[in-house]
Structure 1
Amino acid sequence: MQSAADGSEMQARSLWLLVVLCAAAHAARLLAVLPTNTRSHYAMYGRLIEALAKRQHHITVLTHFPMKNPPPNVEEISLAGTIPEITNNLTRQHNTLKPHFIRNLEQIMKECVHACETVSQLPAVKALVNSTLSFDLVIVEVFGSECFLPFGRRFQAPIVGVLSSVPLPWVNEQLGNPEATSYVPAYMMSYGQQMSLWERMMNTLAVLWSKLLYQYKSQMPSQLIADRLFGPGPKLEELAKNYSLVLSNSHFSINEVRPLVPALVEVGGLHLDDSQTMPRELKTILDKSYRGVVYWSFGSMSRIETIPKNKLEQIFDVLSELPQTVLVKMNKRMLARNITVPDNVYTMDWIPQYRTLCHPNTKLFVSHGGLLGTQEAVACGVPMLTVPLYADQALNGRAMRDRGVALTLTLKDSNKESWREALQDLIKNPVYKQNAMKLKAKFLDRPLPPLETAVYWIEYVLRHQGATHMRSPAQDLSLIQYLLLDIIAISIAATLLTVFILHLMFRYLCTRCIRWWPKEKLVFENRLFRRNRSLFHCFIWLYKFKGN
């Protein structure tokens, strides 16, 4: 164990970190689809930057969301405005025969590669690549492209990845982390951990197909971008095997129980921030809602006001029947003119979600099932009604439903009756709240808070110059060696050879050495064999016993 003196020295030493947090990879990968709240994702990374800055590290940040008042030890290279702000609506239709998860993955990878292409052409980024600066650590966002991985090689520094979701199939492969597709559902499959034969087969195929898509839709075009920016060098898939650490925004209490190599650390809830401020108007509404509050938000990207008119009217009709106050994050000015908002519904353009969910009067969270919002609801002990729209939201909704804290509806197939039944059940049945409080206790019960855990492991990598001892040996094995196909082949061959030799030996003994079987009996057995082919008679016929 490191001494306290070593820890103090670690804090005092000025370490330069290059943080390539391409929040644009989140914003851009969500372009033209129904994404989760990208600003919330950046809040996760921003919290990490602030914590590292407080530890007196010097940080250079490439970001699309620069701080208003950065501390003196944080230098920002602003990318704001280089990629237009992404907006989507819920009326978008996809006329394609491709499965939903394939279409989502392709879109995510396309937008991430587009973000890489845009950012890599900026003069400030090119100047950084050609600078004489030196860094002790490079932190990159892990998701749909790896075009910035060569920063580690450029500055001869270890790489730490931050991932805003559960471990992705290609990330597992890069770290040598087991997939365990028999009980760990894939990122975009809405399965639980108790899968049927068909689900296990489809889950395995989804993981394999995701890796194939990633290779052709992301790695190949990202390689061209990286070669233009950094010059020819090692392949991205080889550089990806050198992650010193990947911090995953997941936790076994609310996501899947899965095997983890030492270099993959779960820090789910990293973005939770008790310092959020609440507008006075909102606080007044929450405090006066003695019957409770139902909070409805689909994030900043999926606009509730763009739900098809007839569907939104049905939902509003059901909400108007509730005795609770309904708080909705939406732009009321964007609603169709002939849609009437019920009297018990309050709309706001922006709502501090975590503070709102943790208010004692909040009884229910109607959500699209985004992972960050799900974590906030769990941390506040609030039951959920999830309406998955995209990506891993169906997986998150399924996980919450399996834990007894949520129900799930689909926007397309739901109607007034299904909304009414789900809302009434979640509000009136105390079991959901009880389960939510139990899950909250499990989620928050950790040796260290998630932010402190993330900082500890980053500094652990710094202390041990890349911590190569955490690297899994599985990364150096071929697929044949990793799956033990060579051992299985040798075992099968040895077994077949042994059986064949025994067969030859026994046949020789039966046909050359054994003379005790009566000839009359053998003739009788041969006739009986034609009538009734038992195992014993087959044995007699196979080895052709000779009579005296």
Structure 2
Amino acid sequence: MQVRLWLTLCAVAAAAQAARLLVVLPTNTRSHYAMYGRLVEALAKKNHHLTVISHFPMKIRPPNVEEISLAGTIPDIYNNLTEQHYSLKPDFVHNLEQIMAECVHACDMVSRMPAVKALLNSTVTYDLVIVEVFGTECFLPLGERFKAPVVGLLSSVPLPWFNEQLGNPEATAYVPAYMTGFGQHMNLIERLSNTISVLWAKILYRYKSQIPSQAIADRLFGYGTKLDKLAQNYSLVLSNSHFTINEVRPLVPALVEVGGLHLDESQKLSGELKTLLDASTDGIIYWSFGSMSKIETIPSEKLAQIFAVISELSQTVLVKMNRMRLSTNLTVPDNIYTMDWIPQYATLCHPNVKVFISHGGLLGTQEAVACGVPMLTVPLYADQALNARAMADRGVSKTITLKNTNKHTWKQALHELLTDARYKDNMLKLRNVFLDRPMPPLDTGIYWIEYVLRHKGAPHLRSPALDLSIVQYLLLDVVVLSIAIAITTIYILHILFRYLCTRCIKWWPKEKRVFEKRLFRNFSVFLCLLWRYKAKAN
């Protein structure tokens, strides 16, 4: 008992020791930083000393946080929904190529900054390096440069190439690939498409991201260990997913799900917004496509159809939209209330919000589930079709595509969500299982980061699958050996059987062998006569 208490106290003391952490967040995506920023703030409150490289400087920076600001180095990333993409390439291929190109470009711009180069040439040391994991891995050499373990932050479900880096099973028979939009119960064609999508995504990542990222890393860090080898040495990766709302999938110990980590209970409503929500006796429909997709850029003819449906509703529709950017020929219904910025989590958790019209982004989906609000999803990009399918399969949402938008589809979907109580009931059940955890997701993330610190990189979390060749991992050598053993066994039995038969024939008395031959001949004649007789009778 005393030994257990001593070990516990030692672990707590080790956790309390402040460590020096380097956090590198190269992509300029505000929705991703909603997750990363919460983690940075929590680590700072734990008295760790942080050096943060990001596009989003903290509004109030604690004294134990140093920042290298990337603000303004690359333009904000957003999708213009007016632009329609027509190509022979499948949508998931086009989306992957675009994401990888954006991530590699961001990586290139960050690597050229004098402040980043000065950091690499400094004598400062770090106990841990935290890097963003998404479309590039060009900053993985930081772990080797500072001789520190590396923790990855992933703002989505595990990506196809990322599973390979961690030795995490793909399970394409029931785990839909990123961007495919399949459910977990796939038919034969879907399983074939799913498997091809995973293989194709890995090939794309190799040639569209890994090779150009390697060139950037070689220029910045000099020639050293290749990125594909460094990617197999993550101590830990925190994934913004959870089995209750995403896919049930096998996970290695180094991959920890912290879906919902960004949920901020301290978020407050402005006075104007609170008054609007409180006064809406018929309820509120909240419509937002996140920070990257602008509702006002939807083609005018489609937006006019959506506005026509909204004008017939008794509910107030709160929209995150810049009204001044709308086309002049559009008439905005009286029951639409627009704001440039809305605190989404606090808004969704208001009891008067009845439906959330969303693009199906993972962060917004998690917020809707945490607040128990049914969804109308309009997937546009990346993993949004996958998230929309997951919510529809759980009976908490309806899905509409922007290409097939018309008055009938919107009217029918909104009517079902507002009048069918099953959507709300299913969402409340999903909320209960999503929030029911041993500890909150933010605390889970902090615990595992400090776990890696306590155990000097925690190499015991690394999967031994990473040390196997593809032949060994797929058991192809076992299959070949098994076939060889089976063939050898059959051949030996065949030789033995022939030998025994030969010996038996030699030992058989000559008179009996003659008798057997006559008997066989007579029996054959009998069968021939019988056949001829039957043929004539017929």
Compute the TM-score of the two structures, normalised by the length of structure 2: 0.93
Displacement after TM superposition at 1:503 (Å): 2.5
- Contact 1:287 1:361 (8 Å CA) reproduced: yes
1:295-314 aligned at under 5 Å gives the runs 295-314=286-305
4+ runs of 1 displaced by more than 6 Å? 524-531
User: Identity of counterpart residues, as a percentage?
Assistant: 69
Secondary structure of the residue aligned to 2:256 is strand
Q: Equivalent residues in 2 for 1:194-205 (5 A)?
A: 194-205=185-196
- Matching residue of 2:454: 463
The residue number in structure 2 matching 1:138 is 129
Match of 2:536 in 1: none
Aligned in 2, Cα 1:108/1:521: closer, same or farther, shift over 3 Å? farther
Q: CA contact under 8 A between 2:100 and 2:135: conserved in structure 1?
A: yes
Partner of 1:5 in structure 2? 9
| Pair 1:239-2:218 in alignment | no
Does the 8 Å contact 1:11/1:56 carry over to 2? no
Question: Pairwise mapping of residues 112-191 of structure 1 onto structure 2 (< 5 A)?
Answer: 112-191=103-182
CA spacing shift, 1:348–1:526, aligned 2, 3 Å: farther
- Following superposition, the deviation at residue 492 of structure 1 comes to 1.0
The AA in structure 1 aligned to 2:167 is G
Match of 1:101 among 92, 116, 120: 92
SS of the equivalent of 1:147 reads: coil
Structure 2 CA distance for partners of 1:495 and 1:281, relative to 1, 3 Å: same
Aligned to 1:544: none
Letter of the 1:429 counterpart: D
> Structure 1 225/508 Cα, relative in aligned 2: closer, same or farther at 3 Å?
same
Partner SS state of residue 43, structure 1: helix
CA–CA distance in structure 1, aligned partners of residues 522 and 420 of structure 2: 77
Determine helix, strand or coil for the equivalent of 1:273: coil
Match of 1:519 among 514, 517, 523: 517
2:308 corresponding residue in structure 1: 317
Matched, 1:494 2:480: no
Mapping of 1:59-458 within 5 angstroms?
Answer: 59-458=50-449
> Alpha-carbon deviation of 1:245?
0.1
Structure 1 counterpart of 2:161, one-letter code: W
By how many angstroms is 1:320 displaced?
Answer: 1.0
Render the CA deviation track for 1:45-77: whole Å, top value 9, x for unaligned: 110011001100000000100012200000000
| Structure 1 position 247, deviation (Å) | 0.2
Unaligned residue ranges in structure 2 (runs of 5+)? 530-538
Structure 1 CA distance for aligned equivalents of residues 344 and 356 of structure 2: 10
Q: Using a 3 Å threshold, how does the CA distance of structure 1 residues 14 and 338 change in structure 2: closer, same or farther?
A: same
Aligned residues of 2:15 and 2:450 also touching (Cα < 8 A): no
- Alignment correspondent of 2:48: 57
Letter in 2 for 1:347: T
1:21 aligns with 2:25: yes
Report the Cα offset of residue 301 of structure 1.
1.5
* Cα 1:87–1:180 shift into 2, 3 Å: closer
Q: Is the 8 A contact 1:11 1:55 kept in 2?
A: no
Distance (whole Å) between structure 2 residues aligned to residue 328 and residue 522 of structure 1: 94
Question: How far off is 1:170 after superposition?
Answer: 1.2
Query: How far off its partner does 1:307 sit?
Result: 0.8
Q: Which amino acid aligns with 1:201?
A: L
SS in 2 for 1:141: strand
CA contact (8 A) 1:140 1:161 kept: yes
Amino acid at match of 1:246: V
Structure 1 distance, partners of 2:524, 2:269, is 94
Q: TM-score, normalised by structure 1?
A: 0.92
Amino acid aligned to 1:308 = P
Q: Distance in 1 between matches of 2:523 and 2:414?
A: 76
Equivalent in the alignment of 2:533:
none
1:109-166, CA deviations, whole angstroms, 9 ceiling, x for partnerless residues?
A: 1111111111100100111111100000000000000000000000000000000000
Q: Which has the larger radius of gyration?
A: 2
For 1:528 and 1:51, locate their aligned partners in 2 and report how far apart those are by CA, in whole Å: 95
Deviation at 1:512, TM superposition (A): 5.4
Give the aligned residue type for 2:517: K
- How far is the alpha carbon of 1:274 from its aligned partner? 1.1
Unmatched segments (≥5 aa) in structure 1 = 28-37, 532-548
Q: Distance in 2 between matches of 1:177 and 1:456?
A: 22
Aligned partner of residue 88 in structure 1, secondary structure: coil
Contact persistence 2:15–2:454 (CA under 8 A): no
Question: Which secondary structure state, in structure 1, belongs to the residue aligned with residue 9 of structure 2?
Answer: helix
Q: CA deviation at 1:169?
A: 1.1
Equivalent position amino acid for 2:341 in 1? W
Deviation of 1:414 after TM superposition, in Å, equals 2.5
With 207-216 and 226-235 compared, the bigger mean Cα shift is at 207-216
Q: Deviations over 1:368-417 (max 9, x none)?
A: 10000000000000100111101110000010011110111111012111
Is the CA contact (8 Å cut-off) linking 1:110 and 1:217 kept in structure 2? yes
After superposition, the CA RMSD in angstroms is: 1.8
SS in structure 2 opposite 1:385?
Answer: strand
Question: Residue 278 of structure 2: SS of its match in structure 1?
Answer: helix
Alignment partners' CA distance in 2, 1:184 and 1:529: 61
CA distance in 2, matches of 1:84, 1:198: 40
Report deviation, 1:501. 2.3
